């Protein structure tokens, strides 16, 4: 599933237009929206949920997240029938509503609470609705994920670290919570960590020459080589002669993306430790900074054995995507 810069630009433009319209029209007093990050409320008749329409929804919106060592869904789905979609239940931050009507899709913003994004799918029969899901699922996922990213970044801003070191060293602003602490600082390399129960969440920031990635070789091979060299030099394991590398068994996923409006290679996969038994997921952005003739590398990785990691990676992703290059 390769994402293009054009698709991302379209999604960002969509949100900008939606926000502009909302500012003009909406003076209602609304409750705060509620729900865990990546919790999607699905408003659909029970019988339809248990049939082919429900199966199509689960296939698309509970599909496995790319790059995690164990299968975890894109969204945690919570189904309720239309007659119970009332009162505080309607405060769900993101919802997908299935209705009878002319085939199509509508996006509603801040309909019952704020912030809120709802997707309404209509069809005259089950096949109509399934067809809309097949055609529009990628767009819907991008809209909902962007909503959740913005919400996660809003929550992060409530308790920010007062950091100036990254601006002085790399010329960037990165918004991360005060619970994160510096684990290592070297010339052109910073390592930031947050302890979690039975594990940790890590952020790496460093820079490499543009030629490290932009050459005649495969981009993903160059990124793996870059990661592994940094791992050997900077990220030791628990045992002697052990260090972090990219998992050898499977190549990571590679996408084209943007960070702060700049082109970036987005890589997702699994890290492991050479000569030890440790592993976990990572997300890496190689941001093309032509003004400074470099790729700025922003990476997050998680160590949390035998536990779900989707939301950990999502938090790291929200932090990395907050980067502003000065």
Is the pLDDT score of 99 beyond 60?
yes
**What's the rounded mean pLDDT across residues 230-249?**
95
**What's the rounded mean pLDDT across residues 59-68?**
97
Give the confidence band of 130 by pLDDT, cuts at 50, 70, 90.
Answer: very high
**What's the rounded mean pLDDT across residues 95-102?**
97
- CA atoms of 251 and 231, how far apart (whole Å): 17
Which of 264, 273, 271 shows the shortest CA–CA distance to 320? 264
Domain residue ranges in the chain = 5-157, 160-325
Mean pLDDT of the chain, nearest integer: 92
Give the confidence band of 26 by pLDDT, cuts at 50, 70, 90.
Answer: low
- CA atoms of 135 and 123, how far apart (whole Å): 13
pLDDT tens-place string over residues 297-320: 999 999 999 999 999 999 999 999
Give the confidence band of 4 by pLDDT, cuts at 50, 70, 90.
Answer: very low
Report the Cα 253 to chain-centroid distance in Å.
Answer: 14
Shared fold status for 5-157 and 160-325: no
CATH class of 5-157: alpha beta
Instruction: Please give the full DSSP string across 117-163, using - where no structure is assigned.
Output: EEEEEEESSHHHHHHHHHHHHHHHHHHHHHHHHHHHHHHHGGGB---
> How much is the pTM?
0.89
Is the pLDDT score of 207 beyond 90?
yes
pLDDT at 15: 53
Dihedral sign from CA coordinates of 253, 258, 262, 263: positive
pLDDT at 215: 78
Give the confidence band of 217 by pLDDT, cuts at 50, 70, 90.
Answer: confident
- Answer yes or no: are the C-beta atoms of 41 and 84 closer than 8 Å: no
Is the pLDDT score of 110 beyond 70?
yes
Which of the two residues, 117 and 162, has the higher pLDDT score?
117
Query: Roughly what angle, to the nearest 10 degrees, separates helices 126-156 and 52-61?
Result: 30
**What's the rounded mean pLDDT across residues 184-210?**
96
Is the pLDDT score of 2 beyond 50?
no
- Name the CATH superfamily, with its identifier, for domain 160-325: Mog1/PsbP, alpha/beta/alpha sandwich (3.40.1000.10)
**What's the rounded mean pLDDT across residues 228-256?**
95
* Element (DSSP H or E) covering residue 95: strand 94-100
Lowest average pLDDT, out of 15-19, 109-113, 226-230, goes to: 15-19
């Amino acid at each position: 599933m390769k994402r293009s810069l054009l698709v991302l630009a379209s999604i960002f433009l969509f949100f900008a237009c939606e926000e502009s319209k909302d500012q003009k029209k909406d003076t209602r007093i609304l409750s705060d929206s509620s729900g865990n990050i990546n919790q999607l409320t699905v408003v659909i008749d029970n019988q339809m949920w248990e049939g082919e329409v429900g199966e199509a929804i689960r296939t698309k919106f509970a599909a496995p997240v790319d790059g995690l060592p164990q299968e975890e869904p894109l969204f945690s789905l919570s189904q309720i029938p239309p007659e119970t979609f009332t009162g505080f239940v309607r405060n769900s931050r993101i919802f997908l509503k299935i209705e009878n009507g002319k085939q199509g899709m509508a996006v509603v913003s801040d309909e019952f609470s704020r912030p809120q994004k709802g997707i309404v799918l209509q069809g005259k029969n089950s096949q109509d609705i399934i067809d809309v899901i097949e055609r529009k699922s990628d767009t819907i996922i991008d809209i909902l994920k962007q909503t959740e990213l913005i919400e996660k970044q809003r929550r992060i801003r409530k308790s920010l670290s007062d950091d100036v070191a990254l601006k002085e060293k790399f010329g960037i602003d990165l918004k991360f919570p005060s619970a994160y602490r510096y684990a290592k600082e070297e010339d052109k390399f910073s390592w930031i960590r947050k302890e979690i129960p039975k594990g940790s969440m890590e952020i790496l920031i460093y820079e490499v020459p543009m030629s490290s990635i932009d050459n005649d070789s495969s981009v993903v091979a160059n990124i793996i080589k870059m990661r592994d060299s940094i791992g050997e030099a900077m990220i030791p394991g628990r045992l002697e002669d052990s260090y972090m590398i990219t998992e050898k068994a499977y190549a990571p996923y590679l996408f084209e993306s943007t960070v702060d409006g700049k082109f970036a290679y987005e890589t997702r996969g699994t890290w492991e430790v050479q000569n030890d038994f440790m592993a976990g997921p990572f997300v890496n952005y190689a941001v093309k900074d032509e003004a400074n003739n470099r790729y700025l590398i922003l990476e997050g990785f998680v160590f949390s054995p035998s536990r779900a990691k989707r939301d950990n990676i999502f938090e790291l992703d929200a932090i990395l995507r907050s980067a502003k290059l000065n």
